Structure 1
Amino acid sequence: MVAVVEAAARPTSGRYALLMAAHDSEYVLKRYGGYLQVFVAAFGGAGEAWDLYRAVDGELPAPEDLGGYDGFVISGSPHDAYADDLWILRLCLLVRELHAMRKRLLGVCFGHQVICRALGGRVGRAPGGWDVGIREVAIADAARPPCRFLDALRERHQLPPRAKITEVHQDEVWEVPDGAEVLASSDKTGVEMFRVGEHVLGIQGHPEYTKDILLSLVDRLLTAGSITVSFAEAVKRQLEATAPDREFWLKLCKSFLKVDEDHVCI
């Protein structure tokens, strides 16, 4: 059954679908009630309804329901976006369908990578290994052709040339799809953000993560043997010294998801 979160008695300003590519961690379930709540707290607004589809378990919206959504978000995942698991291949097909419908689609981390793959780009393991912690990315000076959701932030003087974001990934986009535009990059990752037209946006980092969620993930990666003790300690020291520009990234994601022909809602 699809989980639903409504910010009011009934949706009055939009309906969105979260396509979860991971299972809720024990920590997030206990602290937040699940990742759906994390995403709604980050990207949601008054009067909206958010539906949860557990894509990792093969659950996707029915074709006849796609038109009823104003936007879709694909989450991060411990899985590889270039793998050929059936649920990943089905998710790729859905991405292509949403793209053809010009539905607004935001991908975060794994979501960013799987959108790239689905639309003809290339993704794979990052040669530099794990990127975990806070990374500063450089944002493109000007999108061409003009990009309404970025221009709305620029007009409000809310589009900085550089911004810090939370990262937890060992895969990356190698090559964006034809027709895509790279909007941000860092010294670690060449494609930190890209768009296809006005309706597809991929972000390698995690705008939705809070500091405590990142710390929980660092501990899980350490326990699993994915990172070393010294690596984990370095990340924790960094988190004591700096923080992501989370407010900016949340405004950017909301600007993208909620832009319409007349205004941008942020």
Structure 2
Amino acid sequence: MELEGEYKRRYALLLAARDSEYVKNVYGGYFNVFVAAFGEEEEEEERWDVYRVVDGEFPDVNEIQGYDGFVVSGSPYDAYGEDNWILELCCLLQTLDSMHKKVLGICFGHQVLCRALGGKVGKSNSGWDIGLRKVNIVKDFSPCSFLETMAETPPALTIIECHQDEVWELPTGAEVIAFSDKTGVEMFVIGDHILGIQGHPEYSKDILNNLIDRLLCQDSIETEVAKEARTKLEIEEPDRKCWQEICKAFLKGLWNGYPCIKQ
């Protein structure tokens, strides 16, 4: 993929899922969902590209050099799988880590980042986590962590979750900076260039509701699990704005430029 034009920053989405019909029809695809969540309103400020890694599309070495950061999306695939594209993605993530490129992993992306850099992932012993989950932010992490400069970050934030796998063991040098009553590693960092988030800061409630419909049709989840998730969605709101500001702050190095204030 050739990079053209002059932009202050360039980012790439490593898309590990194929567009659902719903997201395609309503949002034009997952790429648009991510750019709306993490991109800037002033389009000339930055450029976003997409590599559909799930279909074997990867940036080459020359293209990697031109990007300021990468986002790895969620996926219906297992991060511990042996599919060729997952193994190639792990190799790419190892390269990005060695180059100290900023990489943000979301859900599957969070897990595959962990795997690629030496950690362990697998099925959760407590089953699916679907719906809204309160995530506790760790306050006594190392001074190098970017969240330290975001003094107004609340001690707990609600995020949309949809996963049955989780991080079992962190890579060497990684640090847990958020956890929940269901998942021990909701967010981790390595230095100032790797950030994994188990939940979905980019999801809206309608996207999750459609995903629940599809999981029910596939008999992947039980009716009671779906019902409980929908009930929470009706009475609570995720802290999407704050999560998105955290992600932007990480990707763009503008910690003080993105104060996080819970509404």
**Per the shorter chain, which TM-score range?**
over 0.9
Alignment of structure 1 residues 14-25 onto 2, 5 Å = 14-25=9-20
Please give the secondary structure, in 2, of the residue aligned with 1:123.
strand
Number of residue pairs matched?
A: 255
2:2–2:63 Cα contact (<8 Å) kept:
no
For 1:235 and 1:16, the matched residues in 2 are separated by 33
Partner of 1:151: 148
Corresponding position: 1:247 with 2:241: yes
Partner of 2:71: 73
Partner of 1:40: 35
One-letter identity of the residue aligned with 2:148: D
Please give the secondary structure, in 1, of the residue aligned with 2:150.
helix
Structure 1 residue 145, shift from structure 2 partner: 3.4
**The 10-residue stretch of structure 1 (251-260 or 196-205) with the greater mean CA deviation from structure 2:** 251-260
One-letter identity of the residue aligned with 2:67: Y
Distance 1:3 1:242, change over 3 A: farther
Partner of 2:99: 101
CA offset digits 1:30-68 (Å, max 9, x no partner): 000000000000000122110000000111101111110
Distance 1:126 1:106, change over 3 A: same
Corresponding position: 1:203 with 2:197: yes
Structure 1 residue 3, shift from structure 2 partner: 10
Alignment of structure 1 residues 228-243 onto 2, 5 Å = 228-243=222-237
Structure 1 residue 253, shift from structure 2 partner: 0.2
CA offset digits 1:74-95 (Å, max 9, x no partner): 0000000001100000000000
CA offset digits 1:177-235 (Å, max 9, x no partner): 01000000001000000000000000000000001001000101111101122221111
Q: What runs of 5+ residues in structure 1 fail to find an aligned partner? A: none
For 2:252 and 2:38, the matched residues in 1 are separated by 10
Structure 1 residue 143, shift from structure 2 partner: 2.0
Alignment of structure 1 residues 101-250 onto 2, 5 Å = 101-147=99-145, 149-154=146-151, 157=152, 159-250=153-244
For 1:174 and 1:57, the matched residues in 2 are separated by 27
Structure 1 residue 11, shift from structure 2 partner: 4.8
Distance 1:166 1:3, change over 3 A: farther
**The 10-residue stretch of structure 1 (233-242 or 137-146) with the greater mean CA deviation from structure 2:** 137-146
1:139–1:161 Cα contact (<8 Å) kept:
yes
Please report the RMSD computed on the Cα atoms of aligned residues, expressed in angstroms: 1.6
Task: Provide the identity percentage.
Answer: 56
Structure 1 residue 264, shift from structure 2 partner: 4.9
Where do 4+ consecutive residues of structure 1 move more than 3 Å? 263-266
CA offset digits 1:138-164 (Å, max 9, x no partner): 1001321332x312321xx2x111111
2:150–2:256 Cα contact (<8 Å) kept:
no
Alignment TM-score, normalising by the size of structure 1: 0.92
For 1:3 and 1:160, the matched residues in 2 are separated by 41
2:189–2:196 Cα contact (<8 Å) kept:
yes
Please give the secondary structure, in 2, of the residue aligned with 1:249.
helix
Partner of 1:88: 86
Q: What runs of 5+ residues in structure 2 fail to find an aligned partner? A: 259-263
For 1:107 and 1:59, the matched residues in 2 are separated by 18
2:111–2:167 Cα contact (<8 Å) kept:
yes
Please give the secondary structure, in 2, of the residue aligned with 1:240.
helix
For 2:257 and 2:60, the matched residues in 1 are separated by 28
